[in-house]
Amino acid sequence: MSIQITADSTCDLGKYGVERGIGIMPLSVILGGNSYLDGVTIQPKDIFDYFEKTGELPKTAAPSIADFEEFFASYVDQGKEVIHFNISAKSSSSHSYALEASKKFGGKVAVVDSKALSSGQGLLVMKASDLLSEGYGLGEIAEKVNALRPYVNTSFIPDRLDYLYKGGRCSRMTMYGANLLKIHPLIEMQDGQLVAETKYRGSMQKCIDKYIQDLAAKYPRYDKTRCFVTHSSADPELVEFAKRKVGETFSFDEILETVAGSVITGHCGRNTLGVLFIAEA
């Protein structure tokens, strides 16, 4: 029986997911009372345009249990087993709905709480694809990727805090102070939820430079297979600088650039950038 790897649209894999045949389950983005499908009927530019016009952020919604049942059935009915990767259960109800839907298929569907989002989630999806190509079965793949979850570095630096403020993730005073003083917080995924600890100050390029140096110091041992430089429509010069700096600082086999989808963009805003990879114990 063949295995199909699938993931919530929040994995932000872009063309890399397409190349590997990853099935994508879109989350919903709600703008002005209208519901759109992430990456299907709405793109990040639509989020930026809506925010500029209204000052309001979109809301997001997980697929329903029935949606997941239909999605999984489209593969199981072809004689396939499915392993599905959800955005962190602490960020969305998507995982609990997918898990409930999987019960209908008698062990033919495995559901993984990535405990991450964006290409942090995508790293686990890509690792599962690697394992599948090496001949591992459904249970083995699920076991191995679950064991890797604590070692996924999911972190990013926003340019401005407007979106975080509108989303209730920081105060108005914090937003104004940060924007005025060019303070950029490092936002990290810890145990499945986002926290802000380190604060960098200066231009985005200066902050990204220090951020990458800090990552190298924090994670001296890491999986060299791949790294993602993921951003929300960041300035091309900043993206190229980050990729070049990662190449000079680390020894990854490949450095992949991805653009965050509408769900992730709606929470962090334009010009946010992160460097994501799997560390080793």
Specify the number of domains making up the chain.
2
pLDDT at 172: 45
- The answer to whether residue 49 is domain-embedded is no
pLDDT at 162: 63
Domain boundary among 149, 178, 200: 149
Of 162, 127, 153, nearest to 232 (Cα)? 162
Nearest-10 crossing angle of helices 236-249, 204-218: 30
Domain boundary among 149, 166, 195: 149
- The answer to whether residue 45 is domain-embedded is no
Burial class (CB in 10 A: 0-12, 13-18, 19+), 180: exposed
Q: Are 232 and 194 in a shared domain?
A: yes
The predicted-structure confidence for 72-103, as pLDDT tens digits, reads as follows 999 999 999 999 999 999 989 999 999 999 99
Residue 206 to residue 221: CA distance in whole angstroms: 24
pLDDT at 186: 86
The 8-class DSSP code of residue 42 comes to B
- The answer to whether residue 187 is domain-embedded is yes
Q: Are 13 and 140 in a shared domain?
A: yes
Q: Are 178 and 240 in a shared domain?
A: yes
Q: For every one of its 281 residues, what pLDDT tens digit does the chain have, with 9 covering 90 and above?
A: 799 999 999 999 999 999 999 999 999 999 888 999 999 999 998 988 888 888 887 888 999 999 999 999 999 999 999 999 999 999 899 999 999 999 999 999 999 999 999 999 999 999 999 999 999 999 999 999 999 999 999 999 988 666 554 444 444 445 434 554 477 888 888 888 777 777 888 999 999 999 999 999 999 999 999 999 999 989 999 999 999 999 999 999 999 999 999 888 877 778 899 999 999 97
3-state secondary structure of 167: coil
- The answer to whether residue 50 is domain-embedded is no
pLDDT at 177: 43
Residue 254 to residue 263: CA distance in whole angstroms: 26
Q: Are 260 and 242 in a shared domain?
A: yes
Residue 113 to residue 83: CA distance in whole angstroms: 11
**What six digits make up the tokens of 248?**
């000079």
Q: Are 127 and 218 in a shared domain?
A: no
- The answer to whether residue 52 is domain-embedded is no
- The answer to whether residue 170 is domain-embedded is yes
pLDDT at 179: 59
- Provide the CATH number for the domain around residue 188: 3.30.1180.10
Q: What is the pTM of this model?
A: 0.93
HSE on the CB side for 147, CA within 13 Å? 8
Look up the domain containing 274 and give its range.
Answer: 152-278
The 8-class DSSP code of residue 68 comes to H
